[in-house]
Structure 1
Amino acid sequence: MSSLGHILLVEDDITLADWVSEYLIDQHYQVTHVDRGDKVMEVFENCQPDLVLLDVMLPGINGIEVCHLLREKSSLPIIMLTARADEFDEVIGLEAGATDYVIKPVRPRALLARIKNSLSNREVKSSESKQLVFGDLSIDQESSRVVYQGQEVELSTNLFAFMWFLASQAGEVVDRDSVFKALKGREYDGLDRRFDVMLSTLRKQFNDDPQNPKKFKTVWGKGYLFVADAWGDS
């Protein structure tokens, strides 16, 4: 059977790296392993992987910085491996441009599901150019470009996808389960706060007062609301 994709595994725990590599190879993936953060970019350029599994704590350069460097070069899926379940890793990792994250100890089937979902989401991309305009805000899906008040706003791949999803349903409250199904391919588990974190980040990016937001609202018990008429008029 041909390879389902090439995965770059960045992990300094050799025991963990060995079994993850063996498991993924058994599942018909090609795996390249790197054990230091400062080696990643050279290997990345040489092997051109389809997805990166990236540990947070690495010698040389930490995983967050590596994620930033990778994101400057490519929009490929990046799944971070973290031993911490607290908000710090979640916020920093997602803002650095990670596609998803997995908390250690890694469960093989859960990891495989995340990999398959990330790769399939990358493949499903509309060839038709789509653009949304709300007053001074313009969002172009094909180019992943956001312009607000004449200035381009740099957003990570995850933030852009989340903003596009909300904006495409402007004026409607979108529940968390719908967001998770659309963007992560799974149901909301009642605990994962990643999209709450990302909404806070979007508010910062667009100067939306978190105490009294006008552009991105959270409707308690229901979900998120992108306000169509809150973006001014040139």
Structure 2
Amino acid sequence: MEKILIVEDEKKISDIVKSYLEREGFNATAAETGREALKLIKDRFDLIILDLKLPDIEGEEICRSIRGISDVPIIMLTAKSSEDERVKGLGIGADDYVIKPFSPRELVARVKAHLRRTKAGEKKVLSFNKGILIIDAASMEVKKREAPVSLTTTEFRILLCLAERPGAVLNRLQLTNTVQGYDFEGYDRVIDAHIKNIRHKIEDNIQKPVFIKTVYGAGYKFIGVRD
């Protein structure tokens, strides 16, 4: 049974989300404050639903703290509807976002989609550029020159999606549908933000990438050489 942590200070919303998740067979735990959440994340959770506006600690800070110790999928709950705010949240390590007010059924569907893709990694290891970059699909681990690379779940899915199709140009909508299972408003900026994060982690020089190339007006393609 997958364990879900709900970090939400509005008890009515938290109770509704918890009820819907438990109805679908998930083990859901709720935290009303950031401090409570930071204590709970020491336990293993399969996914975290995180409200950005909490009474004691900003959700962005909690997201950074989680990313310091775990690659668990994070879905943000936010009343901030501007595209820049959403891109900012994804830039600090969140995998997805849901804007309030939201449909509990849609949120549960997104939870299922993320968990399904987390489990879907095939048992294969991809090696590129004479072993400089290694992608293990089963363990969802990436190494650069034998050193572990910390990617969020969504970043890993995007990288794997591109690496499995070297030389093929994938547009932003294709990447969104492949890694999320649905499209949404502002998906182009969101993909760009994730690609930027990935490049900072796997490229020696982001101005002269050797793994992910931008094809202007079309999308992105993986240019690493398969070993």
Scaled by the length of structure 1, what TM-score is found?
A: 0.79
Which structure has the larger Rg over C-alpha atoms? 1
**Which residue of 80, 93, 116 corresponds with 2:76?**
80
Change (3 A) 1:190 1:175: farther
**Which residue of 134, 137, 140 corresponds with 2:135?**
140
Q: Which amino acid aligns with 1:174?
A: L
Change (3 A) 1:80 1:182: same
Residues 183-233 of structure 1: CA deviation (Å, up to 9, x unaligned) = 1122x3463131111123334443322xx867533334432122236xxxx
Change (3 A) 1:56 1:133: same
Q: How do 1:1-234 and structure 2 match up within 5 A?
A: 5-45=2-42, 48-126=44-122, 128-134=123-129, 137-141=132-136, 142=139, 144-147=141-144, 153-186=149-182, 188-189=183-184, 191-192=186-187, 193-205=189-201, 206=203, 207-209=205-207, 215-228=211-224
Aligned sequence identity (%): 33
Change (3 A) 1:61 1:213: same
Q: Report SS of the residue matched to 2:16.
A: helix
**Structure 2 unmatched runs, 5+:** none
Tell me the number of residue pairs that the alignment of Structure 1 and Structure 2 aligns.
221
- Check conservation: 2:118, 2:153, Cα contact below 8 A: no
Change (3 A) 1:213 1:132: closer
Change (3 A) 1:191 1:43: closer
CA distance in 2: counterparts of 1:53 and 1:27, whole angstroms:
16
Q: Please, which moves more after superposition, 88-97 or 104-113? A: 88-97
Q: Please, which moves more after superposition, 51-60 or 89-98? A: 89-98
CA distance in 1: counterparts of 2:223 and 2:109, whole angstroms:
34
1:94 Cα shift?
2.3
Scaled by the length of structure 2, what TM-score is found?
A: 0.81
Q: Which amino acid aligns with 1:12?
A: D
- Check conservation: 1:76, 1:122, Cα contact below 8 A: no
**Structure 1 unmatched runs, 5+:** 230-234
Q: Which amino acid aligns with 2:16?
A: W
